[in-house]
Amino acid sequence: MTSRRSVYIEAPQGRRSHSMDLRLKLVDKWVGPVRGNAERVKDLPLQDVDLRKTLRKRYWLCDEEQPSQPTAQKGKRPKADNGNLTEREHHIMVPQPQRGQQQMVTETGPQMSPWLNMIITDLQLYSIVEEKGFLDLMRSLGHETLPSAADVYSEMVQMFDQTKEKVRRTLEATENITLACDFWNSKAGQFLTVTCHLINESWKQESFVLETTLIPEKSTSDSNINQLYKIARMWGIEKKVQVVVTNANNLDTAVQKVGWKHLSCFAKTLDKVARQITKHTPVGKVLKRCCDIAHFFCYNAEAEKKLWEAQIKLGLPRQSLITAKGDAWLSTLSMLERISEQHEALKEALIETDKLRLVLNEGDRKVMHDIIKALCLFKEVTEAMKRDQHCSASYIIPCLKELKMKLKEQKENSVAQLLAKHLCSDQFRPAEWLTMSTALDPRYKHFVLSDSVIAKSFKERFLAEMYQKAKSENAPVDEEILYKSNFEKLENYIKMAPLPREGNPLSFWRHNYKKLASFAPEYLNIVTTVIPLDRAFNVQKLQLMSSRRSILPPELLDMMLFLNGNCSREAGRDKTRHSHYQNLL
């Protein structure tokens, strides 16, 4: 009779991915060369060596037969008095969790250890697990056996490879994909993070971070899009991409050369509109003075102390000023609101510090209040977007129409009228495919289909696309018959009452108009912003994310942001909430 014991041997080269081999070089800094250990592992008594500790996760677990214990009866296994496995048999037959081996596998896939989840969720360096504060915290929670940095890095690599294969399989089963390209800057240079968005076979919206790459200093629009095309080709989705959403300027022509459609990030579009008012002399003058005030108190400790004393004296809340980040309207609004709230304390502190030129007069305050009142409408529409669990590009046209209407209602506000004028300019005229996206959203279709000209164009384009699709499938089709069979259904859809804004457009198309529904995913998976809405329109979250990813070493950025977007429990909770909402109509 033979029994089985678990031993570790070196994994064959073919069992490891290319990315694993590259990253093992970094693990060797801590673990050191251990290949020789693998050859003599079978000669070591099981109870005398911690193989997991010696070999980490660079080796895979296999079974080796060995003679059974002489005391065991033939055909039976030694048992404890209570009928269960003995302690030694349990140790041999059931591998025990060891240091660095905290990953579990469930029906839903690999589950990461709590410390790895903390690291990728908060974008911390994995070496934090060897720092005194972390070690003291874990020991206070009862964890005596703690992971090393090499353990955590090894688990991170394993999770990265497994998740990458899972994402690749999902993309293979998808026909229509939208790419979101986030161009961002750090001390190491300019980076591009690419995220894909899709609607799966179950009519659920999904998104995956694909890659983060460094952009060369002297890059051009064409070279940036060529780099994006290489990433799409590497994932095998270059022919599935329909629309690219970016937050960079002057990419329209470059994207069209590749054969894709381009949409500017909606957050960037609103910044572009707000930037127009700075060209208006009175507005630009007040904004410049407010920026000077914020910088003076934020970077002068003595002035800030005077401000706090004035706040206490006047009974105002003790708050620091907020500095605007570039031309972003949201940070500008936050800065102006804080200055308006603290005006009296600021006035007294400026007088004491002999900075009378920075004191706002009555005319300046009126202009500032007009700017605040107008930009608050921008905040209203973005808050509505964040509440929408399925916020696609179909919301852009309704959002802009409502925003223009509300701005025009502020007739005595010259800033609001100026913003409304820019929103009505030709540069914000929606593209035809963006109109199609709104028309195919049963919640907002009336914003475009109430116009008879647009409704007629929508029907013609829709029927033409149906004919082209049937033709591409090599199915015999008569254009006239196809037109007659689907014209009535289109008419019914156009005339039906719109869904409430809390409704689910994906659930609607899943259960209604089966022939028409096949075109909905192509237009409803287009996102409005290159980053999640709660971060795009939240100054604190945006700055926190920017600061954290800027301190990561470039060689870790790709893997860390990939896991942060696809594996962290925070991302998992968001997807769970979204999946729950998708079941509601």
pLDDT at position 50 is 43
Instruction: Give residue-wise pLDDT tens across range 440-453.
Output: 999 999 999 998 88
Measured between alpha carbons, how far is 101 from 121 in angstroms, rounded to an integer? 20
Query: Counting Cβ atoms within 10 Å, is residue 13 exposed (0-12), middle (13-18) or buried (19+)?
Result: exposed
Measured between alpha carbons, how far is 391 from 125 in angstroms, rounded to an integer? 33
Q: Is 323 helix (H, G, I), strand (E, B) or coil?
A: coil
pLDDT at position 539 is 80
User: Integer distance in angstroms from the first to the last C-alpha of the chain?
Assistant: 62
Instruction: Give residue-wise pLDDT tens across range 243-297.
Output: 999 998 888 889 988 999 999 999 888 888 888 888 888 899 999 999 999 999 9
pLDDT at position 217 is 83
Q: Is 137 helix (H, G, I), strand (E, B) or coil?
A: helix
Q: Is 235 helix (H, G, I), strand (E, B) or coil?
A: coil
Angle at 518 between CA 515 and CA 523, to 5 degrees: 135
Q: How many other β-carbons are positioned within 10 Å of the β-carbon of residue 534?
A: 12
pLDDT at position 474 is 66
| φ and ψ of 214, to 5 deg | -80, 135
Measured between alpha carbons, how far is 402 from 181 in angstroms, rounded to an integer? 27
Measured between alpha carbons, how far is 320 from 298 in angstroms, rounded to an integer? 7
Low-confidence ranges of the chain (pLDDT < 50): 1-27, 29-109, 570, 572-585
Q: How far is CA 479 from CA 232, 263, 488, 494, in A?
A: 35, 32, 15, 21
Q: Write the Ramachandran bin of 236: left for phi over 0, alpha for psi from -120 to 50, otherwise beta.
A: left
| φ and ψ of 85, to 5 deg | -65, 145
Q: Is 111 helix (H, G, I), strand (E, B) or coil?
A: strand
Query: Counting Cβ atoms within 10 Å, is residue 174 exposed (0-12), middle (13-18) or buried (19+)?
Result: middle
- Type and span of the H or E element at 188: none
Of 579, 570, 272, 243, residue with least CA distance to 392: 243
CA dihedral of residues 394, 400, 403, 409 (deg, nearest 10)? -130
Measured between alpha carbons, how far is 202 from 184 in angstroms, rounded to an integer? 33
- For residue 201, give both structure tokens: 């076979």
pLDDT at position 584 is 34
CB 178 within 8 A of CB 243: yes
Q: What is the reported pTM?
A: 0.75
Measured between alpha carbons, how far is 214 from 194 in angstroms, rounded to an integer? 12
Beta bridge partners of 189: 186
Beta-carbon-side half-sphere exposure of residue 98 (alpha carbons within 13 Å): 14
DSSP 47: G
Of 179, 248, 194, residue with least CA distance to 220: 248
- For residue 196, give both structure tokens: 């894909």
Q: How many other β-carbons are positioned within 10 Å of the β-carbon of residue 406?
A: 17
Q: How many other β-carbons are positioned within 10 Å of the β-carbon of residue 128?
A: 16
- For residue 200, give both structure tokens: 């799966």
pLDDT at position 473 is 67
